[in-house]
């Protein structure tokens, strides 16, 4: 199968859905001629024109309001917030309006939009351009939250998200944009709320999100040389969550390590730990549930400090090794 980068897979999904459905349009800062901050939408304005690839003023609140209003009138907009940090400026429209409208109108109104945004550290972009704020939006009833980790997943999940009748926060990691993988040319969808076992194992389960899936798979390869077989599970969508796949994996291995980039306090790992502890998997645990997450600090500008602020492959290897050997 041919290979595309993560960014190319997003662009192909957008192009194919815009060709299929004239209600789909793109809106955001510099998404047109410039092609977006990371070049993801490059070339689409030439193909679809400025009425369907719309550059906006620097107003994240305006972008969120525009896609909410457009979705209410029957369009299927795809908004882009240049950095996830700036989604804080759009929160009123997302949290108090878009997330609640369908419920408040008894299902008579729908808000089918996707808001794409790059998150995470690793580019030296410092504290105001490197955050992982996914759990803020997991907390809000009415919003769906998607975090693809591979080119294959990002295309299938984006197509499914655009076709969904609810507002969706679609989170892309900056360091994944250049990662390549097999992607079918034809359109396909991955149902929201479907996790995937990325690697089979017997000794412990790692549940990881976004870039941490890639790092966990690298860690699993290293640990295999020590006869520690790690199972890696990627939720793919944080809300809705496929609890069954995660619980089944933990029951199989008896140990679980949860890995994410966001700060540990209030992070999604706490929710996963609570779900596992409250499920039938609890009786199968041979060790405590372990969380490995970002430090509770702003992301530093200094590259060495930035590196140590979030989990890296060596941190995952050490945490998994200790867990597998009963040292936790």
Max Cα–Cα distance, the chain, nearest Å: 59
DSSP 105: T
Nearest 5 degrees, angle CA 152-CA 273-CA 248? 60
Backbone angles phi, psi at 256, to 5 degrees: -145, 135
181 - beta bridge partners?
4
Residue with tokens 């979030």: 310
Judge if the upstream peptide bond of residue 240 is cis by omega within 30 degrees of 0: yes
* Per annotation, catalytic residue among 129, 139, 173, 260: 129
Structure tokens at 195: 């996790």
Structure tokens at 170: 């679609």
Q: Which residues of 185-201 are buried (b: 16+ CB within 10 A; e: fewer)?
A: eeeebbebbbbbbbbeb
Cα dihedral 205, 214, 219, 192, rounded to 10, equals 0
| Burial environment of residue 99 by CB neighbours within 10 A (0 to 12, 13 to 18, 19 or more) | buried
35 Cβ contact list (under 8 Å, min separation 6): 41, 42, 43, 44
Sign of CA dihedral 69, 241, 157, 108: negative
Cα dihedral 232, 233, 238, 241, rounded to 10, equals -160
State the DSSP H helix or E strand holding residue 283, giving kind and residue range, or none if neither. Answer: none
Known catalytic membership, residue 225: no
205 Cβ contact list (under 8 Å, min separation 6): 230, 231, 232, 233, 246, 249, 250, 252, 253, 255, 256, 257
Q: Give the residue numbers annotated as catalytic, written as ranges.
A: 129
């Amino acid at each position: 199968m041919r290979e595309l980068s993560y960014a190319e897979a997003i662009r192909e999904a957008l192009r194919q859905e815009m060709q299929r459905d004239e209600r789909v349009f793109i809106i955001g800062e510099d998404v047109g001629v410039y092609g977006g901050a990371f070049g993801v939408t490059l070339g689409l304005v030439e193909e679809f024109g400025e009425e369907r690839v719309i550059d906006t003023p620097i107003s994240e609140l305006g972008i969120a309001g525009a896609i909410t209003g457009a979705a209410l009138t029957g369009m299927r907009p795809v908004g882009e917030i240049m950095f996830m940090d700036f989604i804080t400026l759009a929160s009123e429209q997302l949290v108090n309006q878009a997330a609640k409208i369908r419920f408040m109108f008894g299902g008579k109104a729908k808000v089918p939009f996707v808001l794409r945004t790059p998150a995470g550290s690793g580019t030296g972009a410092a504290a105001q351009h490197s955050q992982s704020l996914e759990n803020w939006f997991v907390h809000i009833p009415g919003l769906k939250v998607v975090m693809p980790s591979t080119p294959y997943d990002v295309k299938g999940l984006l197509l499914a998200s655009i076709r969904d009748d609810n507002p969706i926060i679609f989170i892309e990691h900056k360091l994944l944009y250049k990662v390549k993988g097999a992607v079918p040319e034809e359109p396909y969808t991955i149902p929201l709320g479907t996790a995937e076992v990325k690697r089979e194992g017997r000794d412990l389960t790692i549940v990881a999100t976004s870039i941490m899936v890639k790092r966990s798979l690298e860690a699993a390869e290293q640990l295999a040389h020590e006869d520690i077989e790690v199972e890696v599970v990627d939720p793919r969508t944080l809300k809705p969550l496929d609890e069954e796949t995660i619980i089944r994996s933990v029951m199989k291995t008896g140990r679980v390590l949860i890995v994410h980039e966001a700060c540990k306090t209030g992070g999604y790992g706490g929710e996963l730990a609570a779900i596992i502890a409250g499920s039938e998997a609890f009786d199968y645990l041979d060790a405590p549930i372990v969380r490995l997450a970002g430090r509770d600090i702003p992301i530093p500008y200094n590259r060495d400090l930035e590196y140590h602020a979030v989990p890296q492959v060596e941190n995952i290897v050490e945490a998994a090794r200790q867990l597998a050997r009963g040292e936790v």
